[in-house]
Amino acid sequence: MKMLRKLSSSLRRHISTSCRSYRYDKLFKVHPSVREALAEHRPVVALESTIITHGMPYPHNLSTAKEVEAIVRAKGVTPATVGILDGTIHVGLSPEELDFMSRCKTALKVSRRDLPYVISKGLSGGTTVSGTMIAAHRAGIHVFVTGGIGGVHRDGENSLDVSADLTELGRTPIAVVSAGVKSILDIGRTLEFLETQGVCVATYGKSKSFPAFFSPSSGFTSPYSVHNAEEAAELIASTLSLGLQSGVLLAVPIPEEHAAAGQEIEGAIQAAVTEARLKGICGRDVTPFILQRVSELTEGQSLQGNIALIHNNAKVGSEIACALSERMKKCQSGPRGSSEILEEKNQPSKPKPVVIGGVNVDCIAKVTKKLLFGQTNPGSVCQSFGGVGRNIADCLSRLGHKPLFISAVGTDTHSDAVLNYCKHMDTSAVVRLEGQRTATYCAVITESGELSLGLGDMDIHQQIKEQHVCQYEEQLSSASLIVLDGNIPVSTINYVCSVAKKHSVPVWYEPTDADKACKPFLSESWKALSYTSPNLAELCTMNRTLHLPTPEVLPDSPEDVLSCASSLSRPLLEHLNCVVVTLGSLGVLVCGEYEAGSVRLQPRKHQRRGRLCAVYYPALAVRSEETVNVSGAGDRYVITDLLLSHTSVISPFWPCIHACLSLFSLPDSCFFTFLFLFFSLCVLLSIILLSLSLISLTISHSLLLSHYFHPDCLFIKISPSLSFSPSHSFSLSVMFSLDLSQSCGWDDGRDLAGEGHTQLYAHGPPRCTPLSLLSSPHHSISDFRCHPPREGSFSAMAKTHLHVDGVITD
């Protein structure tokens, strides 16, 4: 039970939740019975097909294949015979397909090296141990039963004739159940080679004696032994949980009742080996020739022995698959590991977001005075845990969205620390890689909280490869949102985008930095993105990658920054739903489709895109000493509204609220209770002050509106302050809206509807003149709606005066 608890959290990520759908459906086909078994977490055993196409003559090959599948089914396990038919890899064959393969005279023997050629030519063939392992692993099958594996050929130290089965065992996490290695091979060197490849070898039974196919003992011993199916399942589970990416070889001796003829068969084997050498037979033709010749020399006894050991392997392999399946189910339903998210029982399952990105151990140095290079600066140094992907997953987890986080870490002390820190997150898809260092990031932060210098050792991020991510294609295809961190490889980004496009899953791309912002835009993958959150430099990189014009120097003034950001966002919105441009201390510019005074977040279904707009949210004023760290602060603030199914960006202060919640882990109820009490106190204080005297209140703010996407579209919001007269030291921030996206007059005789005594001064093209607004004198927040000019740019300044007891002051 201790072992089960220890392995449960890491083992769960290897459980095949269903048969995955692959990008290349024409190349890979899973039989419906196999797909259903995998989806229901029932045991499945993979079977090879070279024994059908090259191992036995017809009809013995067909009858043996059917008998083996029947033995597997009798154990409550689904058989999945792997073969290639007309250039398509099949995992699971129908009776008609089995019959075709058993009769096919042109079938090839297909190993790893042969797969591309056979598929490209549309040929058929039987898969070797190596080829079957590849297909079974892609389908999510963990146990594979065969007769015997290939090995190092005799005189292999000179010929270098080593079977691809051995190298495949060293790089594919599959448990292979076999009768050991054929005695026609160099068994000693084969075991040495397997050790070099990192393959765990164990004999099934009480003895460690390594079997030699027809003989229960080869004269060599295995490093380990497992006594029963439960121990074998525990061994396989340990291998999967460690993420070693190497296989397990379980050597099953031939039953004693069939081993009596082993000595006679061994003599025939040696004679056949000599004959093959004299005839110059080598390579892949050696084994079929020897098996055929041995069968002739023993008058069929070797064939019966071959069939008997395959039957026995199928029986043992099925028992191991059942034990492993039960073990995995216990891991799912048993005590949760430290990295797992507790879920309420009987809750209907909802699509979860998936975050794919990096994990960093951050060393943050913050100076207390102006940074001076070349000397020691006073400051504070602390260690924390970061990484763009981890930050986003962490924030979403704290806000209740429970994303699946896919990443990679090393096996060093840093990985233990970061995974323990992230125990509130679902880190079941974070793989620990031997020989790799967990990513480390060192940052120097100025006294104002700005990033001055960053250094990163992040090579492990390149190990977040498609081969690892594709294990979670089921979760990707049903996700509510996929968030991609720009640190991951381009091939992984392309793969995820293709899956998302196929299943209509929205994708958010966080570009990380200017150098990595280009990754999706190097191919057509960027068209599958729905959202992105670059800063201005990253936005320039995206446009530059698409061969679009960009400024040589980034602008400095707020007006030019907004103009540049909106201009560069427009080309991306031809395919993306929303572009969120982070502007540092200036705030955020959100660009997308206009809806009800804001930007629409959720994409429309089967509807034409509406007018585009840009919404500007200035940053809240925060004292420098209150700034903790601005690095990564913009990673996920709009994602929460998106996951809450809000159709639009609701309010300028929502991002700040979410950022505060993420930073301080303050429950929503507590925060909003505080917010309610604060505003209640403000209202009470206002009534008391107004009852004492007439107080002048003034709202004043200006904003340059220098760009628009469409003649009928421009929308920018500003947030000025509402202040009491200087004699009272109290202020309260309110939202002030300037909306230029609705249909209103702009020609001579134009009139606008607003609330509050307001004046709008428009400057730009000659025909724009000051406009007067007539409205009710009893409101403090105003809305303006009008058409912008058809050409050129213009600026607008809004000034609002609030009535207090009938007295207006300018």
Q: With cut-offs at 50, 70 and 90, classify the pLDDT of residue 700.
A: very low
| Domain 2-333 superfamily per CATH | Indigoidine synthase domain (3.40.1790.10)
Query: What is the side-by-side order of every strand in the sheet holding 440-445?
Result: 379-386, 360-367, 440-445, 451-457
- How does pLDDT run across 334-360, given as a tens digit for each residue? 444 434 433 433 444 578 899 999 999
Q: With cut-offs at 50, 70 and 90, classify the pLDDT of residue 637.
A: low
- Local structure of residue 285 (DSSP, 8 states): G
Mean pLDDT of the region 764-775 = 30
pLDDT value of position 374: 83
Report the distance separating Cα 534 and Cα 569, nearest Å: 10
Candidate ranges 67-76, 298-307, 662-671; pick with highest mean pLDDT: 67-76
Q: With cut-offs at 50, 70 and 90, classify the pLDDT of residue 633.
A: low
Report the distance separating Cα 564 and Cα 585, nearest Å: 16
- How does pLDDT run across 230-278, given as a tens digit for each residue? 999 999 999 988 888 899 999 999 888 777 666 677 778 878 888 888 8
Pairing type for strands 125-127 and 78-85 reads antiparallel
- How does pLDDT run across 520-564, given as a tens digit for each residue? 999 999 999 999 999 999 999 999 999 999 998 999 888 899 989
Find, among 757, 774, 768, 767, the residue nearest to 795 by Cα.
768
pLDDT value of position 638: 54
- How does pLDDT run across 131-142, given as a tens digit for each residue? 999 999 999 999
pLDDT value of position 746: 32
pLDDT value of position 383: 87
Q: Is the pLDDT at 723 greater than 80, yes or no?
A: no
Q: Is the CA virtual torsion 270, 275, 280, 285 positive or negative?
A: negative
Contacts of 422 (CB under 8 A, 6+ apart): 339, 359, 385, 390, 393, 394, 405
Residue that the structure tokens 């009893």 belong to? 778
With residues binned 3-state (H G I as helix, E B as strand, rest as coil), the percentages for the chain, rounded to 5, are 40, 20, 40
Query: Is residue 703 within 8 Å of residue 716, measured between CB atoms?
Result: yes
Q: Is the pLDDT at 513 greater than 70, yes or no?
A: yes
Report the distance separating Cα 387 and Cα 483, nearest Å: 13
Q: With cut-offs at 50, 70 and 90, classify the pLDDT of residue 588.
A: confident
Could you check whether the bond before residue 726 is cis, i.e. omega within 30 degrees of 0? no
Mean pLDDT of the region 173-178 = 96
Q: Is the pLDDT at 447 greater than 60, yes or no?
A: yes
Average model confidence (pLDDT) across the chain: 75
Report the distance separating Cα 209 and Cα 204, nearest Å: 9
Mean pLDDT of the region 373-380 = 87
- Local structure of residue 54 (DSSP, 8 states): I
Report the distance separating Cα 406 and Cα 495, nearest Å: 14
**What is the maximum alpha-carbon separation in the chain?**
117
Q: With cut-offs at 50, 70 and 90, classify the pLDDT of residue 794.
A: very low
- How does pLDDT run across 46-73, given as a tens digit for each residue? 999 999 998 888 888 999 999 999 999 9
Mean pLDDT of the region 311-325 = 95
Q: Is the pLDDT at 600 greater than 60, yes or no?
A: yes
Report the distance separating Cα 694 and Cα 691, nearest Å: 8
Cα–Cα separations (whole angstroms), residue 398 to 372, 425, 532, 674: 37, 8, 22, 19
- How does pLDDT run across 798-808, given as a tens digit for each residue? 333 333 333 32
More confident residue, 579 or 262: 579
Q: Is the pLDDT at 320 greater than 70, yes or no?
A: yes
pLDDT value of position 448: 80
**Domain ranges (residues) in the chain:** 2-333, 354-666, 685-801
User: What's the pTM?
Assistant: 0.45
Q: Which residues have a catalytic role annotated? A: 48, 182
Pairing type for strands 379-386 and 360-367 reads antiparallel
CATH topology for 354-666 is: UDP-N-acetylmuramoyl-L-alanine:D-glutamate ligase (3.40.1190)
Query: Is residue 170 within 8 Å of residue 198, measured between CB atoms?
Result: yes
More confident residue, 652 or 81: 81
Q: Is the pLDDT at 441 greater than 90, yes or no?
A: no
pLDDT value of position 607: 52
Q: Is the pLDDT at 758 greater than 50, yes or no?
A: no
pLDDT value of position 565: 92
What is the chain's length?
Answer: 810
More confident residue, 532 or 760: 532
Burial 366-404 (b: 16+ CB within 10 A, else e): bbeeeeeeeeebebeeeeebbbbbbbbbbbbbbbebbbb
pLDDT value of position 323: 94
More confident residue, 249 or 455: 249
